[in-house]
Structure 1
Amino acid sequence: MTTAIAGLNAQARSLGHVSDNLANSQTVGFKRIDTNFQDLVTQSGPNLHAPGSVLARPTFTHSVQGTIEQSQNPLGMAIGGQGFFSVAQARGFVDGLPTFDDRQFFTRAGDFRMDRDGFLVNGANYFLQGWPVGDSGLVDRTTLEPVRVSQQVFNPIATSTIEIAANLPGVDPPATPADARTFSTQVQVYDTLGTRRAMTLTFSQTPGTPGPPRSWDMTISPDPVGGAVTIPIVFGVNGTVESFDGVTGVPGTPVEFPFLMDFGLGNQNIALNLGRFGVAQGLTQYAGTDFSLRNLQQNGVPPGAYAGLAIRDNGDVMVNYDNGQSRMIYRVPIVGFSDPDRLQRLDGAAFMRTIESGEAQVTDANSNGVGKLVVGALERSNVDIATEFTKLIVAQRAYTANTRVVTTSDEMMQETINMRR
């Protein structure tokens, strides 16, 4: 009877595991619990085996992958592999902002969203942690902190370089200045406050003897600091820049003109890049009858307002701005363990490290075999409902069989008691 009662308890535990699995079959990142039955022997030998007992112990499946499905949530993430997200748990609030538990938590539930304070939290209110990125763009891998998105403006960047690539028509020089052909192109630059300013580059033919080399004069408007400038440009027989501002350059070296502009905010250094000496890059002079602009760009950026958040496949958390710029503020790592099935389970599909699981190994996504990050997707529960129903039927039959043993044992004891009457 004692053995049968132990069997009842074991099957009840098995039924509890099945019940837990079925209840969480739709929980994001949930890992099912299987049952491992272990027998206990009281006495066993060649001539005698006494009834023992049985234990039902849980077998965890933390390392078993659930189905990864695409999600309409752009901040949702799933891990293909055995890694985990590092998360934090709020334990209180100070001045309206959460304070966090010093313990480390981990999860596979990647249904993250942005809360009102800019933190990324999942459906169980665990806060996603990442490596912060400094102003220099370097990832600080010595610190893990909750990912918080600031919706501040993108600071403007003053223009410091202008690059131009164009072809001036390869026609004979004019005999007189009145016959010279002139071409102009405008470039928009930005001052230190992010205000857009218009600058004009003008190229005028230099009168001279027909035939190569041919010369042009370049001017900049408005005038740079120090007054108007005229820069002579001489093209060689191969149509590339041979001389610039009176200096014959070494083939392959850059053709640059640094100057200062004052837009009312003080001097601003700008470098005009026109290609390379003796190379068909930047300014050229080939056959044609008109000015042909191939490329004109500058590196200034106007101020930008927050436009959205995106996460890349390598874990980079990017803030996008309406000026077309983006900034990386965090990198989401993946955490691996030597034996993830020995992690301690917590509420909300979360886990904690144990001695048996080994130390947490924090590393970049898609490296060292800890897992691949899938953005815009979620990992579903690894519970298979059909399998759980099979386990349910088996547990029910085994439980019923053990009750029959208890009933029969009780009847036998009653018969034994009746022998005295």
Structure 2
Amino acid sequence: MGVFSALTTAVSGMQAQSYALENISGNIANSRTAGYKRVDTTFADLVPDTALNRQISGSVAAYSQSTNTIQGDLNATRIDTNVAINGDGFFVVDQRQSGIGGNTQFANSNLYTRRGDFDFDANGYLVNGAGYYLKGLKIDQVTGQLVGTQPEVLRITKEQFPAKATTSIEYRANIPAYPATGNANKATPGSELLNPANYVAVLPAVNPNPLSTTATPPGDGIVNGNTLPNFLKDSIPGGQVTVYDSLGKATSVELRWAKVDNGNAAATPPTSGTWNLFIGVDTGAPGAAVAYQNANVNVAFGMTGQLVTPPGGNITIPNLTINGTNVQGVVINTGGNGLTQNGDVTGQIDARSIRQDGYTAGTLDRTSVSASGQIIGTFSNGQVVALAQLAVARFNASNALKRLDGGAFEETIESGPSIVGLGTSQLIGGNVEQSNTDIADEFSKMIVTQQAYSANTKVITTAQEMLRDVFSIIR
């Protein structure tokens, strides 16, 4: 122990401060790198094994200290596929190995990053600025269930979203207790009702389903072009809706209502009016061609205007061909209490909501990321569908991950295995996490490091002078 030990100790101090300065320079260089986690430096003293009363301070060693758990600021980019993690966790990514397009081969290894500046490449893969490919699970567009259990590289192509035939029409409306039909005259009782006599001649009694509850003889529920003018005077419009067949072909369905009786207060249950719904087949039909078809369902209301029949309020539309489009299996759903018969000074139907569940085929217009990590696709046909679920991994010891180029990390024994799931974290679309480096803090550390380095050089200078004095004694 002596002057030579002081020299080696000072050298270790210079090496430690050089190591710290290297980390500081790297942090400053990456102060604008998305998702970068700064590396701090921690020092440990190295104490020689000596007697208790001869212990010395010893040399120093420098080690890196990760800051993977310290979140950087989130910066809005307005790019829908960019995403930031607000909280704990890492995106699961992979590296390209070989191939191009749909034949791209990947390393099939899970790497982890906080860099979320993902965007589509020409082949539909989501790649961040460092060249890492985002992994996750596909979602079945029909069932909405995840496909598979292991994350895979996501590829989202602009394939067509298939058409869906209309099966249900949600109908919410109020029907006036006294309809203002073309024939309605309050001075003439019953003039507001459908007059079966106007239709018997052209509606032969070949169908047990009547045009109305009072029709004699019963008809087949068809209104043709010859009787269309009378029918329009006996009914009121109930709205129209566009429906689709299985190929996505659209057609407009017009609804008209005709009141067929004013109810029976003595009935069980008592009713205040019964209506029939007619579906437009060809509203400009000439001669004997079909213009409207009765749904052949008596829609009756109670004394307070609530729906009594049919039970549940569902009306099935007969299988029809409307303007060349097959309309079949469609149910008008009133929700039971969505269809009422109350007084209305206009005498017209107030159709509050007419919505159907079909749509034509569409292509992918844009994508975005939800807070739960789902990639949401918006299609040209107006459908919004979850396409994939991003894989987010957490670790018990995130700071023990091994750093790789491009802001990626690799699992180690010290970090423990990944725990897949967001936990309490959230994903924020259209944002990117910035570097957690604080320039001011790094410059402060650099000044301190420089002073410490200079102090160690002073120790070497002093030791050198002491050795010179020793050599002078010999002379």
- Scaled by the length of structure 2, the TM-score of the pair is 0.78
Give, in angstroms, the shift of residue 34 of structure 1. 1.2
Paired AA for residue 167 in structure 2: S
- Tell me how many residue pairs correspond in the alignment: 405
Query: Is the contact between residue 301 and residue 340 of structure 2 (CA under 8 Å) also seen in structure 1?
Result: no
| 2:417 pairs with one of 351, 359, 362 | 359
Give, in angstroms, the shift of residue 283 of structure 1. 4.6
Asked whether 1:405 is paired with 2:459, we answer yes
Query: Is the contact between residue 251 and residue 325 of structure 2 (CA under 8 Å) also seen in structure 1?
Result: no
Query: Is the contact between residue 261 and residue 269 of structure 1 (CA under 8 Å) also seen in structure 2?
Result: no
- Structure 2 distance, partners of 1:318, 1:39, is 54
Gaps of 5+ in 2: 1-6, 179-188, 199-229, 266-270, 283-289
| 1:268 pairs with one of 307, 310, 328 | 328
| 2:278 pairs with one of 177, 196, 219 | 219
Query: Is the contact between residue 63 and residue 340 of structure 1 (CA under 8 Å) also seen in structure 2?
Result: yes
Give, in angstroms, the shift of residue 70 of structure 1. 2.2
Specify the alignment match of 1:312 in structure 2. 370
Structure 1 or 2, whichever has the larger Rg, is 2
The secondary structure found in structure 1 opposite 2:53 is coil
- Structure 2 distance, partners of 1:385, 1:399, is 21
Kindly, what percent of the aligned residue pairs are identical? 33
Specify the alignment match of 2:260 in structure 1. 206
Larger deviation: 134-143 or 177-186?
A: 177-186
Alignment of 1:287-326 (within 5 A): 287-288=344-345, 289-326=347-384
Change (3 A) 1:25 1:243: closer
Asked whether 1:237 is paired with 2:297, we answer no
Partner deviation per Cα, 1:113-140 (whole Å, 9 max, x = no partner): 1111111111111111112212411124
Query: Is the contact between residue 131 and residue 141 of structure 1 (CA under 8 Å) also seen in structure 2?
Result: yes
Give, in angstroms, the shift of residue 51 of structure 1. 6.5
Alignment of 1:20-35 (within 5 A): 20-35=26-41
Specify the alignment match of 1:349 in structure 2. 407
Specify the alignment match of 1:70 in structure 2. 76
The secondary structure found in structure 2 opposite 1:47 is helix
Asked whether 1:165 is paired with 2:172, we answer yes
Partner deviation per Cα, 1:370-397 (whole Å, 9 max, x = no partner): x222222221111111111111111111
- Structure 2 distance, partners of 1:209, 1:373, is 58
Change (3 A) 1:156 1:418: same
- Structure 1 distance, partners of 2:452, 2:8, is 16
- Structure 2 distance, partners of 1:51, 1:216, is 100
Give, in angstroms, the shift of residue 266 of structure 1. 6.6
Give, in angstroms, the shift of residue 418 of structure 1. 4.0
Specify the alignment match of 1:181 in structure 2. 234
- Structure 1 distance, partners of 2:194, 2:444, is 99
The secondary structure found in structure 1 opposite 2:146 is coil
Give, in angstroms, the shift of residue 259 of structure 1. 2.9
Paired AA for residue 99 in structure 1: Q
| 2:450 pairs with one of 392, 396, 417 | 396
Paired AA for residue 401 in structure 1: A
- Structure 2 distance, partners of 1:128, 1:59, is 27
The secondary structure found in structure 2 opposite 1:144 is strand
The secondary structure found in structure 2 opposite 1:36 is strand
Change (3 A) 1:213 1:127: same
Specify the alignment match of 1:254 in structure 2. 313
Query: Is the contact between residue 94 and residue 132 of structure 2 (CA under 8 Å) also seen in structure 1?
Result: yes
Paired AA for residue 328 in structure 2: Q
Query: Is the contact between residue 43 and residue 50 of structure 1 (CA under 8 Å) also seen in structure 2?
Result: no
Query: Is the contact between residue 173 and residue 210 of structure 1 (CA under 8 Å) also seen in structure 2?
Result: no
Query: Is the contact between residue 261 and residue 270 of structure 1 (CA under 8 Å) also seen in structure 2?
Result: no
Give, in angstroms, the shift of residue 407 of structure 1. 2.2
Give, in angstroms, the shift of residue 261 of structure 1. 3.1
Specify the alignment match of 1:126 in structure 2. 132
| 1:281 pairs with one of 334, 338, 356 | 338
Change (3 A) 1:235 1:3: closer
- Structure 2 distance, partners of 1:303, 1:380, is 40
Change (3 A) 1:299 1:399: same
Partner deviation per Cα, 1:358-377 (whole Å, 9 max, x = no partner): 110001x3x3x3x2222222
Change (3 A) 1:4 1:322: same
- Structure 2 distance, partners of 1:412, 1:15, is 29
- Structure 1 distance, partners of 2:351, 2:194, is 26
- Structure 2 distance, partners of 1:402, 1:310, is 55
Structure with bigger helix share is 2
Query: Is the contact between residue 154 and residue 303 of structure 1 (CA under 8 Å) also seen in structure 2?
Result: yes
- Scaled by the length of structure 1, the TM-score of the pair is 0.88
Paired AA for residue 284 in structure 1: Q
- Structure 2 distance, partners of 1:21, 1:78, is 21
The secondary structure found in structure 2 opposite 1:290 is coil
Change (3 A) 1:96 1:130: closer
Specify the alignment match of 2:118 in structure 1. 112
The secondary structure found in structure 2 opposite 1:34 is strand
Change (3 A) 1:45 1:273: same
Query: Is the contact between residue 164 and residue 283 of structure 1 (CA under 8 Å) also seen in structure 2?
Result: no
Gaps of 5+ in 1: none
- Structure 1 distance, partners of 2:110, 2:58, is 42
Specify the alignment match of 2:391 in structure 1. 333
The secondary structure found in structure 1 opposite 2:396 is coil
Cα RMSD (Å):
2.7
- Structure 2 distance, partners of 1:210, 1:59, is 86
Change (3 A) 1:157 1:83: same
- Structure 2 distance, partners of 1:167, 1:159, is 23
Specify the alignment match of 1:374 in structure 2. 428
Specify the alignment match of 1:146 in structure 2. 153
